[in-house]
């Protein structure tokens, strides 16, 4: 039975996270109060690399997405006048560390790792993918396979539930908050948590009956169904959440301001029609880039983190 969450899950749990409670690492400043790192005022601390490194969030096979992003990266080279290199990351932690260490300049960070990237790596998100009408986002689903014997979320008690990683919103944070608030179910007490590493691993694990159930992002599931990686008769949805913002795209805080402007221009001037990006992401309804702010659009994610007692440890 599919259940739709109609109110923000975090409102059920703990006092909301105020803007003042979100803190950047000490190496960054936020004088304008937009919750992201300011561009350094000292020009000697601004960088202008000859090659820009781009990474997409590690939700699926990096080889698939190197090709999917190829037309956009060519456009990015034309607008910025820089060489651009696709960097295939294998984990959220590696992606955040690469930007923090100055080895990554432009990136799409998944929903749950955005706050950590902002706080600890100087990430400045400014856009997400949206449909043609401007709507955007995805839902967290808890899925099972038809032969699991699981008919409702409560039936997961005593069994394994696959998460992706602890930095993932739909793959860990949101389901943990929802299961505790709505069902009184806590990982390690009522069910056994296992970690697959990525959403496609969890989905394939359920489809192949390696996991009895998993918490996943349905945008990833939609694309895998479109590519016939899995089929609808292998998956049964038990729960669908409210809509969350999807992958946020942005830049390292210390790129020169004029370069940051050129990168933004590349995102918003990209022609999706007939592109490799359209070929891949039209499968989940995306058709363009739209502007966002971390302060506004990630508020619900910061609330979920607060509800789960998450802190952003930048050590």
Report the 10 Å Cβ neighbour count for 6: 7
Domain spans, the chain:
14-134+246-307, 138-244
Strand 123-130 to 248-252 pairing: antiparallel
Is the four-CA dihedral 259, 260, 261, 263 of positive or negative sign?
A: positive
Name the fold adopted by 138-244.
D-Maltodextrin-Binding Protein; domain 2 (3.40.190)
Strands (E), 48-174: 51-56, 83-86, 106-109, 123-130, 138-144, 160-163
pLDDT in tens, 223-281: 899 999 999 999 999 999 988 999 999 999 999 999 999 999 999 999 999 999 999 99
Asked if the domains 14-134+246-307 and 138-244 are classified in one and the same CATH topology, the answer is: yes
pLDDT in tens, 168-198: 899 999 999 999 989 999 999 999 999 999 9
pTM of the entire structure?
0.78
Comparison of pLDDT for 114 and 310, the residue scoring more: 114
> 14-134+246-307 in CATH: which number?
3.40.190.10
Question: Please, which pLDDT band fits residue 11 given cuts at 50, 70 and 90?
Answer: very low
Question: Please, which pLDDT band fits residue 63 given cuts at 50, 70 and 90?
Answer: confident
Residue 17 has pLDDT above 80, yes or no: no
């Amino acid at each position: 039975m599919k259940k739709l969450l109609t109110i923000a899950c975090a409102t059920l749990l703990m006092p909301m996270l105020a803007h003042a409670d979100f803190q950047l690492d000490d190496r960054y400043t936020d004088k304008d109060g937009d919750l992201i790192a300011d561009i350094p005022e000292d020009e000697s601390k601004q960088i202008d690399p000859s090659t820009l490194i781009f990474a997409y969030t590690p939700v699926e096979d990096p080889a698939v997405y190197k090709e999917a992003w190829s037309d956009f990266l060519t456009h990015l080279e034309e607008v910025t006048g820089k060489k651009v290199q696709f960097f295939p990351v294998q984990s959220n932690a590696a992606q955040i560390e690469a930007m923090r260490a100055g080895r990554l300049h432009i990136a799409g960070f998944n929903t749950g790792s955005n706050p950590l990237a902002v706080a600890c790596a100087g990430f400045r998100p400014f856009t997400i993918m949206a449909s043609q009408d401007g709507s955007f986002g995805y839902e967290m689903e808890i899925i099972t396979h038809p032969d699991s014997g699981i008919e409702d979320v409560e039936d997961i008690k005593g069994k394994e539930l696959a998460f992706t990683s602890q930095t993932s919103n739909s793959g860990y944070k949101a389901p943990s908050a929802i299961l505790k608030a709505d069902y009184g179910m806590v990982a390690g007490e009522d069910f056994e948590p296992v970690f697959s590493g990525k959403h496609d691993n969890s989905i394939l694990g359920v489809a192949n009956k390696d996991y009895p159930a998993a918490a996943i992002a349905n945008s990833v599931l939609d694309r895998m169904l479109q590519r016939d990686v899995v089929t609808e008769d292998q998956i049964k949805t038990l729960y669908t959440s409210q809509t969350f913002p999807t992958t946020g795209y942005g830049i390292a805080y210390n790129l020169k301001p004029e370069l940051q402007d050129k990168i933004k221009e590349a995102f918003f001037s990209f022609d999706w029609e007939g592109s490799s990006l359209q070929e891949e992401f039209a499968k989940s309804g995306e058709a363009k880039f739209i502007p966002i702010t971390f302060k506004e659009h990630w508020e619900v994610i910061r609330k979920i983190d607060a509800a789960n007692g998450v802190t952003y440890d930048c050590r």
